Amino acid sequence: MTIELHTWNTPNGRKISVALEEMGLPYKVFPVDITKGEQMAPAFLAISPNNKIPAIVDPDGPDGQRVSVFESGAILLYLGEKTGKFLPQPLVMRIPVLEWLMWQMGGFGPMPGQVHHFLALKNEQDRAYGLKRYMDETLRLYGVLDRRLADHEFVAGPLSVADFAILGWAWRHERHQVSFDRFPNVGRWYATMMARPGTKRGMEAKLD
């Protein structure tokens, strides 16, 4: 049955369209225009109480029950559990997936997101401190990822939902003004990911 994807054309939204495409799950996009405040509509808040995209509704959830899920990390884990894809069962293999997924959710997203915010400010005084703080942290995180990918093809061993999560933000590297010249292993991983047909479809899906 078709999954409803309530989303917008943003890094957190792209994680889920990529995952759905890679998993071969049928889905229908329900755009939530966050530039017009549609994330505050009561019908959306009923499935996403934190008023942020993405959220999904699966009419064929556990025990055939309709279920909704918000928070992109929770959605990725749900879809991985549902399909048995990109989320290994053995705990020893699942640990790095959880680690790198949480790493993305806690840092490699919130930090470049702040860079996007401060870059857009006009007032130099308002801009300078925030931009330095969040750019330094964003570059540190890219360094962490680059070291990890130096001896791993994908971030958590086999391709996993953690790669989809990180890709959503790496996809916006030009917007947060990070060049892969400084992070060649990230560049290699990014090219591999973006060449995958499923990932490509997820990146090109119309979300707005």
- Chain residues in the site for ligand GSH (CB under 6 A): 10-12, 34, 39, 51-54, 71-72
Q: Nearer Cβ to ligand GSH, position 113 or 157? A: 113
Stated as kind and residue range, the H or E segment containing 144 is helix 124-150
173/62 Cα distance (integer angstroms)? 37
The b/e string for 90-117 (b: 16+ C-beta within 10 A; e otherwise) is: eeeebebbbebbebbbebbbebbbbbbe
94, 160 contact by CB (below 8 A): no
Q: Nearer Cβ to ligand GSH, position 53 or 115? A: 53
- Give the gyration radius of the chain's Cα atoms: 17
177/59 Cα distance (integer angstroms)? 40
Find the shortest distance in angstroms from Cβ 72 to ligand GSH: 4
Find the shortest distance in angstroms from Cβ 52 to ligand GSH: 3
Find the shortest distance in angstroms from Cβ 74 to ligand GSH: 8
Q: Nearer Cβ to ligand GSH, position 54 or 202? A: 54
Q: Nearer Cβ to ligand GSH, position 72 or 114? A: 72
Find the shortest distance in angstroms from Cβ 124 to ligand GSH: 25
